[in-house]
């Protein structure tokens, strides 16, 4: 693969980004009750850029603590163990999002959020990254959270890589137990997802990915940056993107079909990857 492809980080997609880091999950990660019929934070997030005279509040909990925050400050959360092949398992967890649309931290959060986070202010000010900026309410590594374009998200650890697509406009925030690739369009995202979920790619990553306990491996930024993607990316998109589209629609491919599509995308024959597949027990 390495001789027929281009390293992930050198393609039009670019280097993967680590998910968002809070430095204090207890403060930012919450379970939200339903607010005015909103169940996943999407509607509230979409209103966040509108002028709203009266704040809509959502009741939230974190451990034994409960309170209320402005609903538009909540975004759905994705942890590494939520990432599945093709789709993401949605949970009740939300993250309090204290950043402006451009990604920078707010000059000041609204009053209910500021009151909620104030209970952890000492811990938040002691975070190592907080010393660079006096805004103790900010989050870190927020670049991956932009919903402006389609994203591919995968867990940083697993027996095999598991990638899923977040469509443009999806406000979900991947935590730093995930990695994220920002894509130009749906076809890039679909094709990349199908490749990462392929047994061929899993076998190649098995050569370089750091081992973890119990047969797991770590699919870190540096590891995935080296992953070869087909050199003729335009052709590979035409082959791989429909595979992902069908999987998202509830018709996932068999391993054999996914291997065949991957070999076609790389212009390789089965005999050329047979030693790699045997070495990985596939």
Encode pLDDT of 145-178 as tens digits: 999 999 999 999 999 999 999 999 999 999 999 9
Which tokens hold the place of 168? 């443009």
Both tokens assigned to 217 = 């491996």
**pLDDT for 18:** 97
Task: Say which residue the tokens 């790619």 belong to.
Answer: 201
Q: Using 50, 70 and 90 to split pLDDT, how confident is the model at 49?
A: very low
Which pLDDT score is estimated for 282? Answer: 59
Interatomic CA distance for residues 246 and 226, integer angstroms: 28
Task: Give the contacts of 255 (CB within 8 A, at least 6 positions apart).
Answer: 199
The number of C-alpha atoms within 13 Å of 7 and in the hemisphere containing its C-beta is 10
In degrees to the nearest 10, what's the CA dihedral of 97, 102, 107, 109?
Answer: -20
Band (pLDDT 50/70/90 cuts) for residue 52 is: very low
Contact 145, 174 (CB under 8 A): yes
Side-chain half-sphere exposure of 164, counting CA atoms within 13 A: 23
Give CB contacts under 8 A, 24+ apart, made by 110-113: 110/55, 110/70, 110/73, 112/55, 112/57, 112/67, 112/68, 112/69, 112/70, 113/69, 113/70, 113/73, 113/137
- 8 Å CB contact between 174 and 19: yes
Q: What is the pLDDT of residue 38?
A: 47
Half-sphere exposure in the Cβ direction for 163 (13 Å, CA): 26
Cα 164 to its chain centre, rounded Å, is 8
Q: How far apart are alpha carbons 27 and 114 in whole angstroms? A: 11
Assess contact for 239 and 261: CB atoms under 8 A.
yes
The C-alpha atoms of residue 277 and residue 280 are separated, in whole angstroms, by 5
Q: What are phi and psi of 98, to 5 degrees?
A: -105, 30
Condensed to tens digits (0 to 9), the pLDDT of residues 7-42 reads: 999 999 999 999 999 999 999 999 998 654 444 444
pTM metric for this prediction? 0.89
HSE at residue 238, side-chain half, CA atoms within 13 A, is 4
For residue 48, pLDDT over 60 is answered with no
Predicted pLDDT at 134: 73
Give the pLDDT confidence score for residue 62 in this predicted structure: 97
Mean pLDDT within 77-82: 94
pLDDT of residue 278: 85
pLDDT of residue 53: 41
In 3D, which of 78, 34, 73, 43 has the Cα closest to residue 55? 73
Q: Are 136 and 128 in contact (CB under 8 A)?
A: no
> What length does the chain have?
282
Q: Which residues sit opposite 228 in a β-bridge?
A: 7
């Amino acid at each position: 693969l390495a001789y027929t492809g281009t390293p992930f980080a050198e393609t039009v997609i670019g280097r993967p980004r680590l998910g968002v880091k809070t430095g204090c999950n207890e403060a930012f990660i919450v379970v939200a009750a339903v607010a005015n019929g909103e169940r996943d934070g999407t509607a509230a997030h979409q209103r966040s850029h509108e002028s709203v005279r009266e704040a809509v509040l959502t009741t939230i909990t974190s451990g034994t603590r409960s309170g209320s925050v402005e609903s538009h400050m909540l975004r759905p959360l994705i942890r590494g163990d939520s990432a599945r092949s093709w789709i993401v398992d949605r949970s009740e967890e939300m993250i309090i999002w204290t950043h402006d649309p451009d990604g920078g931290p707010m000059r000041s959060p609204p009053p209910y959020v500021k009151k909620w986070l104030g209970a952890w202010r000492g811990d938040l000010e002691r975070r190592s990254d907080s010393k660079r900026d006096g805004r103790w309410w900010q989050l870190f590594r927020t670049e991956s959270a932009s919903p402006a374009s389609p994203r591919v998200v995968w867990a940083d650890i697993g027996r095999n890589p598991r990638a899923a697509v977040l469509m443009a406009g999806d406000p979900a925030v991947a935590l730093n137990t995930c990695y994220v690739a920002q894509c130009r369009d749906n076809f890039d995202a679909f094709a990349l997802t199908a490749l990462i979920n392929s047994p061929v790619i899993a076998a190649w990553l098995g050569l370089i990915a750091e081992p973890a306990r119990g047969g797991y491996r770590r699919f870190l930024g540096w590891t995935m940056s080296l992953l070869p993607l087909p050199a003729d990316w335009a052709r590979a998109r035409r082959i791989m993107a429909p595979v992902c589209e069908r999987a998202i629609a509830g018709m996932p491919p068999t391993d054999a079909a996914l291997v065949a599509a991957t070999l076609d995308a790389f212009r390789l024959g089965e005999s050329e990857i047979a030693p790699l597949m045997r070495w990985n027990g596939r």
